[in-house]
Amino acid sequence: MKNLFSFVLLLAISTLMFTACSDASKVAEDAAASAQETAEKTVKVVKDQTAQAVNVVNSKGKGYQVGEKAADFKLKNVDGKVVSLGDMKDAKGYIVTFTCNHCPYSVLYEDRLINLHNEMAAKGYPVIAINPNDPKVQPEDSFEGMQERAEEKKFPFVYLFDDNQQVYPLFGATRTPHVFLLDKDMVVQYIGAIDNNAKNPEAVTINYVEDAIMALEKGEKPDPNFTKAIGCSIKTKKI
Amino acid sequence: MIRLLSLFSLLCFLACNTPTPPEVDTEKLPEKTTAATSKIPVVDYNGLAPIFTQKSDTTYVINFWATWCKPCVAELPYFLELHETYKDQKYKFIFVSLDFPKQIEKKLMPFLEKNPLPGEVIVLDDSDSNTWIPAVDPEWSGAIPATMVYNGDRKIFAEKSFHDFTELSDWVETLK
């Protein structure tokens, strides 16, 4: 049976090839057409696999701006305890970071986020990591997935789950990772990236969050107080 | 058997005595399909910038995506459909990939081999995102997928996923 199939395939290929000899340009067309056909088939499969609706909250005019006071929230940490900013009595500020498990840009920043917390929590600025994604859309970002990742990487900071997706829209987070540095009074002082080189920590020349904290420590306003970076859109079901 | 088949196909090609293989010929077609056989250019923002300022009567559809971005991959079929819809009009499609340069061979090329896209694929590798993201569009936060459509001075930009073809084509129509 297998041999018969192979023979037919061979026959088909040879026919195609010999036709090619007579008309090279036609082959180009055929190849393009068949590539297109294959593409359509494959893309259809991709389409079916990812048919679940995915939505992105637009950044336009939504969420906290620098200078606005953030509302406190209560979210579940990977250890099962409910955490709110108000619980951290000694904090002089909060590095609220929307991040997740699946996004390559979040992964690129995991070690830097650990270092940032280790360095800054001692100064009164803990990292508050929040996963804003809906695991129904992005299964890797489930609460169990978060627990596993936190264990693997020994996250020294809280890793909270925005499971009703009510916190990230308040902040106006649009991507992961996306940092909102709050001061002691929960006023937003800086929004954006952790530093200026996602792909290569060695090539970083500006540590935006660190610099912003230094400015706050000196009683100054962070400059810049807003930066942009590539990240993964926040995954939510289509409304 | 596979080896025999390959050998046979090779012989057929040699027998043809054609100077260029079909893949190269498709490159010369006006609407080229980027398959894994094409060389994928890797540019920084300065290298990419000219695609945003073409002064012609062609409408440019520029999609920012990456193979690691699930909603980006999910909406690609609608761009294929859009390309099909506008095939008789002056539309040019450019897919700006934010795949990591290290993963071009491992991830991007195999993806494009399975899912050829109806236009150019360019990899943008520029770490200075705080400079180039606002240059692409002041409204863009940097999340992908994101899409720009422009014709001369008229331009629309969306930082969002399209959930079906109608949503995409209705949005593209707003440029007119």
3-class secondary structure per residue, B92-122:
EEEEEECCCHHHHHHHHHHHHHHCCECCEEE
Q: Is A233 helix (H, G, I), strand (E, B) or coil?
A: strand
Where does the pLDDT of residue A139 fall: very low under 50, low under 70, confident under 90, or very high at 90 and above?
very high
Considering only CB atoms, which chain A residues are within 8 Å of B142? 174-175, 228-231
Residue of A42, A56, A238 lying closest to B115 (CB–CB): A42
pLDDT band at A62 (very low <50, low <70, confident <90, very high): confident
Sheet with B143-144, edge to edge strand ranges: A175-176, A231-233, B143-144
Measured CA to CA, the distance from residue A147 to residue A124 in angstroms comes to: 25
Chain A environment of B161 (Cβ under 8 Å): 54-56, 233
Residue carrying the six token digits 């899912």: B115
Q: State the DSSP code for A86.
A: G
Tell me the per-residue pLDDT of A64-73, one tens digit each, with 9 for 90 and over. Answer: 999 999 999 9
Q: Give CA–CA dist A156/A186, Å, rounded.
A: 22
Q: What is the mean pLDDT of residues A233-237?
A: 94
**What value does the mean pLDDT take over residues A200-228?**
97
Residues from chain A contacting residue B5 (CB–CB below 8 Å): 6, 9-10, 13
The Cα of B54 is separated from the nearest Cα of chain A by a number of Å equal to 25
A39: confidence class by pLDDT, cuts 50, 70, 90: very low
What does the domain layout of chain A look like in residue ranges?
2-49, 75-233
Q: Kindly determine whether residue A13 and residue B13, on different chains, have CB atoms separated by under 8 Å.
A: no
Higher pLDDT: A58 or B173? It is: B173
d(CA A206, CA B150): 34
Smallest Cα distance from B154 to chain A, Å: 20
Pairing state between β B146-151 and B154-158: antiparallel
**Separation CA B117–CA B75 (nearest Å):** 12
Interface A-B, measured as beta-carbon pairs within 8 A, has a size of 166
Comparing B22 with A213, the larger pLDDT belongs to A213
| Per-residue pLDDT tens digits for A87-107 | 999 999 999 999 999 999 999
Q: Give me the residue label for tokens 């940092």.
A: A179
**H-helix or E-strand containing B43?**
strand B42-43
Chain B residues within 8 A of A56 when measuring between CB atoms: 71, 143, 145, 159-161
- Please tell me which of the candidates A14, A42, A233 has its beta carbon nearest to residue B8: A14
CA B75 to chain A, closest CA, distance in angstroms equals 8
Return left, alpha or beta for B119; rule: phi > 0 is left, psi -120 to 50 is alpha, else beta: left
Of B9, B22, B142, the CB nearest to A27: B22
Cβ-count burial A169-193 (b if 16+ within 10 Å, e if not)? bebbbbbbbbbbbbbeebebbbbbb
Q: What is the pLDDT of residue A5?
A: 53
**Which two three-digit tokens encode residue A213?**
């904290």
What are B142's two structure tokens? Answer: 């940097």
Among A233, A165, A193, A226, which residue's Cα sits nearest to residue B159? A233
Q: Do the Cβ atoms of A42 and B114 come within 8 Å?
A: yes
| pLDDT higher than threshold 50 for residue A169 | yes
pLDDT tens digits, chain B, 176 residues: what are they?
A: 555 445 444 444 444 444 433 343 333 333 445 554 458 999 999 999 999 999 999 999 999 999 999 999 999 999 999 999 999 999 999 999 999 999 999 999 999 999 999 999 999 999 999 999 999 999 999 999 999 999 999 999 999 999 999 999 999 999 98
Q: Would you place residue A23 in the very low, low, confident or very high pLDDT band (cuts 50, 70, 90)? A: very low
Looking at the predicted structure, is the pLDDT value of residue A13 above 90? no
**Dist CA A102 CA A120 (whole Å):** 25
B160/A228 Cβ within 8 A: no
Any alpha helices (H) in A50-83, and if so which ranges? none
Q: Residue A25: which pLDDT band, with cuts at 50, 70 and 90?
A: very low
Query: What pLDDT does residue A3 have?
Result: 54
Q: Residue A215, SS3?
A: helix
Mean pLDDT, residues A2-16: 49
Residue with tokens 């058997």: B1
A215 in Cβ contact with A222 (< 8 Å)? yes
The three-state secondary structure class of A35 is: helix
CB neighbours (10 Å) of residue B109?
A: 21
Q: What is the CA radius of gyration of chain B?
A: 18
Domains of chain B: 32-173 (3.40.30.10)
Best interface-test mutation with B: which of A228, A235, A236, A237 has the largest number of B CBs within 10 A?
A: A228
Interface mutation vs chain A, best among B129, B156, B159, most A CBs within 10 Å: B129
3-state secondary structure (DSSP) of residue B48: helix
Q: Are B71 and A235 in contact (CB under 8 A)?
A: yes
- Of residues A161 and A3, which shows the higher confidence score? A161
Nearest CA in chain A to B65: A232
Interface test with B, best of A13, A232, A238 (most B CBs within 10 A): A232
Residue B30 CA to chain centroid, in angstroms?
15
Domain A75-233 fold is Glutaredoxin (3.40.30)
Among positive and negative, which fits the CA dihedral A146, A151, A153, A158?
positive
Task: List the single best residue of A233, A235, A236, A238 to mutate versus B (max B Cβ within 10 A).
Answer: A233
Average pLDDT over chain A reads: 83
CA distance A226 to A209: 10
User: Between residues A50 and A19, which one has the greater pLDDT?
Assistant: A19
Which pLDDT does position A6 carry in this prediction? 53
Cβ contact B34:B117 at 8 Å: yes
Question: Which of chain A's residues have a Cβ under 8 Å away from the Cβ of B133?
Answer: 228-230
Q: Decide: helix, strand or coil at residue A96.
A: strand
Give the whole-angstrom CA distance, residue B35 versus residue B121: 9
**pLDDT for the residue A237:** 85
